[in-house]
Chains A and B, each alone.
Chain A
Amino acid sequence: MSEAVAHGHLDDGQRGHHPRLQHQFDDLEQQFESSKLGMWLFLVTEILFFGGLFMAYTLYRIWYYDAFVAGSNELDITLGALNTAVLIFSSLTMAMGVRSAQLGHRKALVNWIILTMILGMVFLVVKGFEYHHKYVMHHIPGAYFQWDGVNGNQVQIFLSIYFCLTGLHATHMVVGLGIMTWLLVGAIRGKYSPQWYTPVEIAGLYWHFVDIVWIFLFPMLYLVNRHAH
């Protein structure tokens, strides 16, 4: 049996409900921690989502190492490294943004979000250049694939995995930019405060995760045995 509490703290009007407190939660802290846990659980699904592709990569790297070397060396290491730096920088700006929200610095938050978005867009533009180069070279897997050299089929597998991994990552970046836009609008309108900045926190978690995926993709795809060349 349970004892019903006569004055449940949920019903205590003297607490004063923050307009952002949803009815199913007792207080903002519970809501914040729940939202963070929810986002982390979603990110765990993302780990496993990319994980399937990581498994495909691992298998074919073992089986077709030479083809992976050839394919990897076709990628532009400068652009790849640049993009890595861009994303790491964007993680810094995002972390700074969350910090601004924690401190209630509205203008700083807006600026950090804008900076993060610019860096994200730079990443996508660079990626676009790389994809275009692949298109011109007929290195896109499928009906029009051409490869001068041996192991064409196996290189095509490498490139399939390359496009799936980077394409999936880029899709997540685009979604991330969408989230940032929404966040920016909210920040400009002054929606966030030190008492309630949950969307900034969980958007930040998402953004950092997308950065982490690239941290793995860069060496996996761009740095397979560069020393022979």
Chain B
Amino acid sequence: MSHHIATKGLYVSIFAALMVLTAVTVSAAFIDLGAFGFSVALTIALVKATLVILFFMGVRWSSHLTWITVASGFFFLVILLGLTLTDYLTRGWSTIA
């Protein structure tokens, strides 16, 4: 079977990046970023998750079908959160209902 075999070095580099990003997100929590605090933390988490998915889980070298499967999971999560928020974020907009 011809499966991509990553080098130890690659895995260790990804690990190091993840640790650095963890340190960054902890530090950032102590800085007053106002409303951006959540966005920063979420972005860092997304980057970390992406690194794990692409390299530790091997999606970087997997078929398009795998890419689409992973993407659709997150896409529909966004639908769940986003469309539900269309309710909650607009509740105060008028006094009609």
Contact = CB atoms under 8 A, between A and B. Distances in A.
Interface string B1-16: 1010110100110110
A88 B19 contact: yes
In this complex, the interface size class of chain B, counting residues with CB under 8 Å from chain A, is 35 or more
A81 B53 contact: no
| Chain B interface main SS type | helix
Interface in A52-107: 52, 54-55, 58-59, 61-63, 77, 81, 84-85, 88-89, 91-92, 94-96, 99, 102-103
Interface residues of A, number: 54
Contact of B52 (A28, A29, A208): A208
Nearest to B43: A219
B1 A85 contact: no
A190 to B, nearest CB: 18
Interface of B: 1, 3, 5-6, 8, 11-12, 14-15, 18-19, 22, 25-26, 29-33, 37-38, 41-42, 44-45, 48-49, 52-53, 55-57, 62-63, 65-66, 69-70, 72-74, 76-77, 80-81, 84-85, 88-89
Contact of B56 (A40, A94, A219): A94
Interface of A: 28-29, 32-33, 36-37, 40-41, 43-44, 47-48, 51-52, 54-55, 58-59, 61-63, 77, 81, 84-85, 88-89, 91-92, 94-96, 99, 102-103, 194-195, 204-205, 208-209, 211-212, 215-216, 218-220, 222-223, 225-228
